[in-house]
Amino acid sequence: MTDHATETATRRYADRMSERAAPGHFHELVPGVQASTIGIGTYLGDEDAATDAQYRRAIRRAVERGINVIDTAVNYRQQRSERVIAAALADLAVRKLASRDELIIATKGGFIPLDAADPRDPKTYFTETYLASGIVQPDEVVGGVHCMAPRYLEDQIDRSRLNLGIDTIDVYYVHNPETQLEGVDRDVFLRRIREAFAALEKAVADGKIVRYGTATWNGYRQDPGTRGYLSLAELVGVARDVAGEGHHFKVVQLPYNLAMTEAFTRANQVVEGDMITMLQAARRLGIYIMASASVYQGQLTRNLSPVVAEYLPGLETDGQRALQFVRSTPGIGTALVGMKSLAHVDENTAVARVAPLAWFEFQRLFSQA
């Protein structure tokens, strides 16, 4: 069995889930590789065994019910989220519920993580693990928390592979690279991102990751000229400079939901001289979009306008409607939502039984929402 998601295996998974999911529940992450339009996130929660157990059960249930995208980061819950994914993958294999090559596992590196399993105090842990070892140079760190130097990313990829219990990561993101712009000028940022992409292309060649991208919060939502602004065309251009047309910069994660619609509504990206939206830019440049904060950390699971329910039939809760809005937006590939409880998994995966809205239906909803 291949230790990453494959075309054959993800198609097999999608076919197996056809009784649980309506048409349109799977999109192509890259040609042939099927990704569910809902993904499970692992960001929130305490750093304790009880939360680990919740996530372990939730991941198993999500995969059983049609979700094959699992999102995490090395710094989530001080590395515990990655480690609980490893436990869930083992459960799935033992119970023969899913094979590794059917699942798309994404993680991130950039924010310097603590380690919940390490007894040292944070300052000592950071100094001994990263500075004294030479993995990080002090001038490579911005704000005391963020680094994307090649040596550091290489270390983080290996840590994530060990934590996740896998040889190859399907999607590896530079985590919030716009954080660097809080401490360095744009020319320095572009040099650093070029070096980071070169390191990630090497990780692809070494079989440690399959593809890479950027997971952001503000970068792609801001207007050109602002300090933390990210240009998708510029970053794709950097990847082309590093590795040619065969580069592996293929995925972007950014927040998108009923309250944060900038990716769909704000024309702030320039591609070939045209000022267009982020989703339009991604489509032109061949980038898959993972939407984070689909229900805005629970804020959109209640008290939505009755108009939303009117234009999103077949759903029972506001949380389901918020999720359906995101996965129905043209250009969104996968809507990520954090899930720990089985009840939330069941509620959210029920959305998969309803087809995403057709374009004309989405237009009607958007004009009223």
pLDDT digits (tens, 9 = 90+) for 188-213: 999 999 999 999 999 999 999 999 99
pLDDT at 367: 81
Q: Which of 262, 173, 175, 200 is nearest to 226 (CA)?
A: 262
pLDDT at 64: 97
Q: How distant, in Å, are the alpha carbons of 138, 163, 191, 264 from that of 187? A: 19, 34, 6, 28
pLDDT at 1 over 70: no
pLDDT at 231: 98
CB 194 within 8 A of CB 240: no
CB 229 within 8 A of CB 223: yes
pLDDT at 354: 96
Which pLDDT band, with edges at 50, 70 and 90, does 94 fall under? very high
139-143, 153-157, 258-262, 299-303: range with lowest mean pLDDT: 299-303
Average pLDDT, stretch 137-141?
Answer: 96
Share of the chain above pLDDT 70, in %: 99
Q: Which of 113, 169, 112 is nearest to 141 (CA)?
A: 112
pLDDT at 342: 98
Cα 305 from Cα 310, distance rounded (Å): 9
pLDDT at 366 over 90: no
Q: Which of 62, 51, 70, 69 is nearest to 97 (CA)?
A: 62
Cα 8 from Cα 21, distance rounded (Å): 19
Higher pLDDT, 367 or 288: 288
pLDDT digits (tens, 9 = 90+) for 17-57: 999 999 999 999 999 999 999 999 999 999 999 999 999 99
Provide the 3-class DSSP secondary structure of residue 219. coil
DSSP H helix total and E strand total for the chain: 13, 12
Average pLDDT, stretch 3-10?
Answer: 97
Q: Which of 362, 332, 337, 361 is nearest to 349 (CA)?
A: 337
Provide the 3-class DSSP secondary structure of residue 261. coil
pLDDT at 101 over 70: yes
And the tokens for 157? Answer: 């990829």
pLDDT digits (tens, 9 = 90+) for 160-176: 999 999 999 999 999 99
Token pair 């949380």 is found at: 319
Q: What domains are there in the chain, each with its CATH number?
A: 7-368 (3.20.20.100)
Beta bridge partners of 39: 336
Beta bridge partners of 174: 109, 214
pLDDT at 105 over 90: yes
pLDDT at 2: 77
pLDDT at 284 over 70: yes
Give just the sign of the alpha carbon dihedral 180, 186, 190, 191: negative
Burial of 57 (0-12, 13-18, 19+ CB in 10 A): middle
Q: How distant, in Å, are the alpha carbons of 106, 150, 158, 189, 226 from that of 142? A: 24, 15, 22, 11, 18
pLDDT at 291 over 90: yes
The helix, strand and coil proportions of the chain, stated in percent and rounded to the nearest 5, come to 45, 20, 35
- On average, the pLDDT of the chain sits at 96
